[in-house]
Structures are given as C-alpha cells and as structure tokens.
Structure 1
Amino acid sequence: MGAFRIWLMLILCNLFWAGNYVFGKYVIAEMTPLWITFSRWLLALFFLFPIACFFEKPDWKAVRQAWIPLVGMGALGGIGYNLVLYSALQYTSATNAALVSALNPGVIVLCSVFLLRERISGIQVSGVVLSLFGVLVILTQGKLGQVFHTEYNTGDLYMLAAVMIWTFYSILGKRLAIPPITATAVSTLFATLMMAPFALAQGIDMANIGPLAVTGIIYMVIFPSVCSFVFWNLSVRAIGASKAGVFLNLIPVFTAMISMILGEKITGAQVWGGLLVFLGVYLTSGMLDRKWGGRTQDPALKAESN
C-alpha cells in the first residue's frame, strides 16, 4: 500500500471522527443520548460484520472464548463512552469536547503505568502534566487564577469522564488477542443487545425527528463508525500504531475548522489550551524519547532499528 494512500486514509478517518462531534451537537437536540448511541451501533452492525469477515477472517471459536472482555468493551466503548460524549454535547461546544478528548493518549499512558506496570520516561511524565495543564486552561477559559472558584461547564466535566471511560476501554482492548475490526463488531453487538431493553422502554417519537437528525445518524453510521475504523486499522497494519497515533491530533483541529465554518467562535483559551494538549500528547507518545535515543545510538544499530 502506497504512502500517499495511507496518509489519505488517516486524514479521512480523523476528519470523519471530528464530524461525529459536530453532527452530535445537532442530533442531540432531537434525540436522546441513548437513542443516538443505540441507533448508530444497531445500523453499523450491518456493515461491521461483513467487513470483519472480509478483511480479518476471524476465528469464531477464539471470539467465543473471549466473550467476557468483549462484553466489557461493549459496555465501556459502545455504551459508556458514547452516552457520556453525546450527553456532554448537550452542554458544551463540539470544539471543547474534542479538545478535552485529546487528553486521551496521555491518560492512557498514565493508567497503563499503574494498571499494566508499563514503564514511562521523565519526558512522558512531563507530557502528561502539560496535557492536563492544557485541559485546565480550556476548562477555566484561560482564567487559571480562579481554578478553585470557577463553575465548570457540565459538558466539559462529562468529557473528562468520557476520557476515563475510553482509557479503560483501550486498556481492556490491549489485552485482547481478537483482530480489531472483529472485536469492534462483536463488542458492538453486545452493546446493542444491552441497550435494547432500555431504548425500547424509553421509546422514541419519530414525528419529532427531523431531516437533520436522520442525516446525522446516517453520517455517524457510515463514516465515524465504519469508514474511520476500517481506514484506521488498515493504516495501523501498514505503518504501526505509534506513527498512526500522531494523526489523532487532527480530530480537534478538524472539529474546530468545521465548527468555525458553521459559525462557532474559537476563543484564545481554546487555541492555547489545545496547543498545550497537543504538545503534551507529543511528549507522552515517546516520540521525543526515540529521537533523542536515536542520536546516541551507534549508526549501525540505528540503521538496523529502522
């Protein structure tokens, strides 16, 4: 697979994920978080299973043996994260939600240290601290002196909870030997089954759902739920997770750009806080450590490592 095609897929998948924040902000005005999440994943199932079978040819016996962690992934990633995300969009802007979610890589690294006993360097620790500081700038709207007196936006606090949910989902996924698209399809099936009784009990008034909400759900199913995941996994398979992970920083950028086009104003606190989060994520990813280590390596070893 050519490099241009890989970069294009990575750019597109993050653009589609950014659109999820923007469309979610509009759809939440006509549908509850539960029904957005339930309908999105129910429809996505009709695409995810055929794609998983085509690309990964899963071992269904191994999948059945891993049903407990897959149920956990469905509860965390399929239900918990999306319910909290769409609830957050009831109170905060799409840009703020995306900027706070950019904290995810740093929090995943930090939790991996305590839960999985992974090692972390001093530079990565500084990256986590810098990311947290950047989020604090966003949450306080740049008024750091009032950090203990500010009434925080409920939606931003929801997004912090969403970051923690996604962290535990990611850590659970690290221990799973099932191919990623298959794992997503099966965990989504479990999530849909778990949500179905509650969604049916809550009910939905189809007469109050307009064309915008229908368009939004269709977008969420085809692009963030299916296309982004397939593009992401094909790219990771080609160039590795660490290189592909850098492109995740495009999500808040794309979200801010789309929101600006739609008339949302971007504040200075969002810009500076976002830059601090991005810099912190870069340090946390360990890329600077590898570059620094590369300078001190013997040339032969450096060439071999590439």
Structure 2
Amino acid sequence: MTEIARPPAAGRTFGYLALVGATLSWAGNYLLGVIAVAETDPVSLTWLRWLLAVVPLFVIAQVVERPDWRAILRSWPRLLVLGLIGVAGYNLLLYAALDTETPFQLSLINAFNPALIAIAAVLFLGARLGWRGIGGILLAFAGVFWIISGGQPLTILDHPPKIGSLVMVGAIVAWTAYTIIGRTGPRLPPISAVAIQGTFVVLALTPFVLAQGLRLPETAAGGWSLAYIAVFPSIASYVLWNYALQRVPPAQAGVSLNLITVFTAIATVALGMPFTAPQILGGVLVLAGVVLAQERPKGPALPLAR
C-alpha cells in the first residue's frame, strides 16, 4: 500500500519529466499550429490531425490499457459529445484564433483555463472554493482582461480586442465544458476514450472537408508542422500526461500546465517573435492567480487531450 501511495523517488522523477514533455509538446501546438493553419485551414488541420493520430492511439490504448472496447462503446453518446466539444471544438477555435493572434497571446489566455474550470466546478459539480481560490481567480481574471485589452482595460469599448483573442476565450470555454462533462458519468480508460473521441471528430468533420475541399500543407514547413501536431500534442502528450498522473499528485500536475505558457514565452523570445509589456504583466497576473487558486482535488485528475 505504501508503494502505491508514494511512488519511489525515481518514479516521481520520471513523472515530472513526463509532465515537462507533455506540456512542451502542447506548447508546440501553438507555435507550429500558426504555420500549419496558414497553409491549410482550421477544419482541414483538425481533420488531418486526428485522422493521423487515431490509429496509433488505438494501438497504444490496446497495449497500455487493454480495454473492454464493447463496454467503452456503450458510452458512445457521451464520448461523441466530448469529442465534438473538446477535441474538435477547442482545436477548431484555437486554430481559427491563430489566424489573427500570436501564439504567445493565445497561450496567455489559455493559462486562465484552470481558473475557469474551478469556477465551473463550483457551479456544476458542487465543488467548494475558499478565499484563496476566489482571490486567485479574480487575480487571474484581471490578468486575462489586461491581456485582451492590450493593457488598456478602461478603453476596451473604444479599442475592441482582436477577434482572435475573443475566439480563444471561446476555446477555453469549450475546454471547460469538456472537462466538466468528463468528470461525470462512468470512468473510462483515458487513452482509449480519446482514441474513440478522435474517431468521432474525423467522422463528424468529413462532410465539411468534402464540402469545402481538403487543403493540404503546401510547403515542407507546413507538412512537418502537421506531422508534429499529429504525433506530439495528439499522441505523445496524452500518453506522457497519463503516465505522469500515476506518479505525481494531481494538484502538482495541474500547476504544471502553466509550463505551456512558459515554454511558449521562451520560444517567442528565442525566435524573435513580437511581445508587449501588457502581455508580460498580464501573463504574470494570470499565472500567479492560477497558482494561488490551486486546490488539492480529492477526485481523479481532469481530462486533457489538447
């Protein structure tokens, strides 16, 4: 019992390394997504991403989880809803937002997602939020409002934010709904569940791809970006995340999601991409608020499939 409750130090170390790998791969979805979506479109990119990812996910699920596929498929209506809201909805909105905003700006808005999930958990799951949580959420909200307004919150009506920032807010709302719904109903093997959700996304988007036409990447950079998105954010991150959750406390895993913004910020500086003082200040406020609001959940970790 002791070994199960407290993994060996080496196991915890590998768990933390897995968290770093997962969040680094998810950060790449922002950085390379802007290249891929410029040569395709949000629908084509999302469809291609999951078309390439679902077969490897099924293979990995069979090897790692050995699921009862018939039992899982009995929950197909719920998996369909989850796939359309989270796996499809979040990514379609993210890639649409990348048309008008920088990856760094969008990653800063995404950093507010844990705080938004905490609010939704109070409203829909009966969770409790202490004063520390309330203060952290308010601080994070002030930070994201500062980012969206470009550091001019009092003049936001005169200078409305770019549509990409507003679309990204819609993306984190979709992911919040995906997360809350994922905490209800039967508990399913996570990799198997996301493999089925990805399959539903491919099937649901196929008519739209046929109607508008499939846009493939036109350059080597676009092709490699698509390959990265199909392999790392879609497959590797999810496997690494679930490996880490077996060895790292869920609260610490939740805080690690802030590394997505940190890695995106580092890449922004390293690649010479533009950033502004309001983004830096707002990002600090968001991250500080999310860390302050972190609770130690007693239930299972929240689902992730970025």
Given the two structures, how large is their TM-score scaled by the length of structure 1?
0.90
Counterpart residue identity of residue 191, structure 2:
I
Q: Does 1:281 align with 2:290?
A: yes
- Report % sequence identity: 37
Q: Distance between the aligned counterparts of 2:173 and 2:153, measured in 1?
A: 23
1:244-263 correspondence to structure 2 within 5 Å? 244-263=253-272
The answer for the alignment partner of 1:114 in structure 2 is 123
| Counterpart residue number, 1:295 | none
Alpha-carbon shift at residue 106 of structure 1 (Å): 0.5
| Residue of structure 2 in register with 1:214 after alignment | 223
Residue of 167, 172, 180 corresponding to 2:190: 180
Query: RMSD of the alignment, in Å?
Result: 1.6
Q: Which residue of 2 aligns with 1:294?
A: none
Alignment partner of 1:118: what SS?
A: coil
Higher Rg? 1
**What is the aligned counterpart of 2:108 among 93, 99, 103?**
99
Amino acid aligned to 1:245: G
**Is 1:191 matched up with 2:190?**
no
Q: Quote the Cα distance in structure 2 between the aligned partners of 1:205 and 1:107.
A: 34
Q: Would the aligned equivalents of 2:12 and 2:247 in 1 still touch at CA under 8 Å?
A: no
Q: 2-side partners of 1:143 and 1:205: how far apart?
A: 38
Specify whether residues 111 and 205 from structure 1 end up closer, same or farther in structure 2 by C-alpha distance, changes over 3 A only.
closer
Give the drift of 1:240.
3.0
* Alignment check: 8 A CA contact 2:136 2:293 kept: yes
Confirm or deny that 1:27 pairs with 2:53. no
Runs of 4+ in 1 over 6 A off after TM superposition: none
Letter in 1 for 2:195: A
Superposed, 1:71-86 pairs within 5 Å as 71-86=80-95
Cα deviation code 1:101-156 (max 9, x no counterpart): 01110001101111111111121111111111000111111112313322111100
Match of 1:293 in 2: none
1:146 to 133, 155, 165: 155
- Which sections of structure 2, spanning at least 5 residues, go unmatched? 1-9, 299-306
> Which secondary structure does the structure 2 equivalent of 1:252 belong to?
helix
Quick check: 1:155 aligned with 2:164? yes
Relative to its length, the structure with more helix (as a share) is 1
Q: Which residue of 1 aligns with 2:252?
A: 243
Q: In the alignment, which residue of structure 1 is the partner of 2:4?
A: none
Secondary structure of the 2:39 match is coil
Count of aligned pairs between the two proteins = 288
Relative to structure 2, which stretch is displaced further, 151-160 or 61-70? 61-70
Query: Unaligned stretches of 5+ in structure 1?
Result: 291-306
Contact 2:19 2:244 in 1 (8 A): yes
Q: Does 1:200 align with 2:210?
A: yes
Bigger Cα displacement from structure 2, 258-267 vs 271-280: 258-267
Mean Cα displacement is larger for which, 39-48 or 170-179?
Answer: 170-179
CA offset at residue 65 of structure 1? Answer: 1.6
Q: Secondary structure at the match of 1:272?
A: helix
Q: In the alignment, residue 286 of structure 1 is paired with which amino acid? A: E
Asked if the contact 1:62/1:178 (under 8 Å) is kept, the reply is: no
Aligned counterparts of 1:173 and 1:19: Cα–Cα separation in 2: 25
Partner of 1:36: 45
